[in-house]
């Protein structure tokens, strides 16, 4: 889809994936606890959903908690989970305003049961919306996702539902948490770090990567537009020659 942004026409990436990083440093700079940064960061997620929808982005996928983030202090992990409890409930109301379908990817088995119930309710109550497809990666890790997909796939082969020579890249994709989503076109990481940190490692194979020093709680629509401008300056070759 093409769209005019501030007087110029741009191709809007269909799927944008974001690594929302820098909450802790943002709080530290203000001599506040890390969880204060997460709280501010959560508010920014709400705003960016609206902005993404307005810009015509169809899929927005954000990294909220990785399979590695359990290594953090109990205090921080508890703080993030409590924030999430509120966020998942509030999200139902905002989804109806933004015509937003919300889904969660990642391994739910390690989450508290009340959180899993909230996720199920959010997914169920927003499934009729067709505007923005908003996905939250929660207790998500790319390697863990491939591991879980492999377990399911091997089971289906054993049960005769799938034969070995049917296994192509599309089949593998269909076993991932992102089964019915297109691959991201653009990946944004805030806070100056330039690594994937186990995010969507299969799906990001051909995405364009945009890095910014802005810390996540300071991220605005202007930064999102800057990423889209950067994306438009790239020539996507997918291994061919242009």
Binding span for ligand IPE by CB under 6 A among 23-31, 46-54, 200-208, 218-226: 23-31
**Which residues, 6 or more positions from 98, have their beta carbon under 8 angstroms from its beta carbon?**
49, 50, 53, 129, 131, 132
Q: What residues pair up with 189 in beta bridges, in sequence order?
A: 19, 211
Q: Under rule CB under 6 A, how many of the chain's residues touch ligand IPE?
A: 17
Neighbours of 167 (CB within 10 A): 14
Closest Cα partner for 114 from 93, 135, 84, 144? Answer: 84
Minimum distance of Mg ion from residue 73's CB (angstroms) = 14
Among residues 65, 87, 211, 219, the one that binds ligand IPE under rule CB under 6 A: 65
Q: Pick the closer one to ligand IPE by CB: 74 or 241.
A: 74
- Contact between 191 and ligand IPE by CB under 6 A: the answer reads yes
How far is 84 from 38, CA to CA, in rounded Å?
A: 10
How far is 72 from 20, CA to CA, in rounded Å?
A: 16
Q: Pick the closer one to ligand IPE by CB: 76 or 123.
A: 76
Q: Pick the closer one to Mg ion by CB: 43 or 195.
A: 195
Minimum distance of ligand IPE from residue 189's CB (angstroms) = 8
18-57 b/e (C-beta count within 10 Å ≥ 16 → b): bbbbbbbbbbeeeeeebbbbbbbbbebbeebbebbbebbb
Binding string, residues 18-57; x marks residues near Mg ion by CB under 5 A: ---x------------------------------------
Minimum distance of ligand IPE from residue 124's CB (angstroms) = 25
How far is 191 from 19, CA to CA, in rounded Å?
A: 9
How far is 87 from 72, CA to CA, in rounded Å?
A: 20
Minimum distance of ligand IPE from residue 135's CB (angstroms) = 13
Task: State the virtual CA torsion across 92, 227, 224, 197 in degrees, nearest 10.
Answer: 50
Note if 107 is an active site residue. Answer: no
The catalytically annotated residue of 23, 69, 98, 198 is 69
The catalytically annotated residue of 21, 51, 144, 185 is 21
Q: Pick the closer one to Mg ion by CB: 50 or 76.
A: 76
Note if 177 is an active site residue. Answer: no
Minimum distance of ligand IPE from residue 62's CB (angstroms) = 8
**Which residues, 6 or more positions from 226, have their beta carbon under 8 angstroms from its beta carbon?**
210, 212
Q: Pick the closer one to Mg ion by CB: 66 or 178.
A: 66
Binding site for ligand IPE (CB under 6 A): 19-25, 63-66, 69, 80, 191, 193, 195, 197
Tell me the catalytic residues.
21, 69
């Amino acid at each position: 889809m093409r769209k005019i942004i501030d007087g110029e026409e741009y191709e809007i990436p269909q799927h944008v994936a974001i690594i929302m990083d820098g909450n802790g440093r943002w709080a530290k700079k203000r001599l506040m606890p890390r969880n204060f940064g997460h709280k501010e960061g959560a508010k920014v997620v709400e705003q960016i959903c609206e902005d993404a929808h307005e810009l015509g982005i169809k899929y927005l996928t954000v990294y909220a908690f990785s399979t590695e983030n359990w290594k953090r202090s109990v205090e921080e992990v508890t703080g993030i989970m409590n924030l999430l409890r509120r966020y998942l409930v509030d999200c139902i109301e905002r989804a109806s305003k933004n015509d937003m379908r919300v889904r969660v990817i990642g391994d739910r088995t390690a989450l508290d049961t009340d959180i899993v119930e909230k996720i199920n309710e959010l997914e169920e109550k927003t499934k009729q919306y067709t505007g923005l497809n908003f996905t939250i990666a929660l207790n998500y890790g790319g390697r863990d996702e491939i591991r879980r997909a492999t377990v399911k796939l091997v089971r289906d082969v054993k049960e005769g539902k799938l034969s070995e020579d049917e296994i192509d890249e599309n089949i593998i994709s269909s076993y991932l948490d992102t089964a019915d989503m297109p691959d991201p076109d653009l990946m944004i990481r805030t806070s100056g770090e330039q690594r994937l940190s186990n995010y969507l490692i299969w799906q990001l194979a051909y995405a364009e990567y945009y890095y910014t020093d802005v810390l996540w709680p300071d991220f605005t629509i202007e930064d999102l537009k800057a990423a889209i401008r950067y994306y438009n300056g790239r020539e996507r070759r997918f291994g061919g020659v242009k």
